[in-house]
Amino acid sequence: MDSKHNNFKILTFVTQFAISMLVPIFMCSFAGYYIDNYFGTQIWFVIFFFVGAIAGGRNVYLLAKKTYSNSGDS
């Protein structure tokens, strides 16, 4: 039973990392897309995509840092 519990814990951890990275990228990309459509430009999508990637990377870093600091307490 312990092996199954560990597998689910790892799956949850990986899923949380993926969501923490992808949500900011998608949200910023959609915002950039709509701003580009509104103003008739083509640059805001790219800028907002990279802003989302940086924000997602920061989220993953903070999550890993929090998880690593909590794992030493166990």
| CA–CA distance, 62 with 8 (Å, rounded to integer) | 22
Token duo for residue 21: 């990275």
pTM equals: 0.83
Band of residue 9 on the pLDDT scale cut at 50, 70, 90: confident
Give the domain range for residue 46.
2-71
Average pLDDT, whole number, for the chain? 92
pLDDT of 67: 87
Report whether 2 contacts 33 (CB < 8 A).
no
H helix runs in the chain, sequence order:
2-39, 44-71
The tally of domains found in the chain comes to 1
pLDDT of 73: 61
Band of residue 5 on the pLDDT scale cut at 50, 70, 90: confident
In Å, what is the CA distance from 67 to each residue of 18, 26, 55, 59, 73?
15, 24, 18, 12, 10
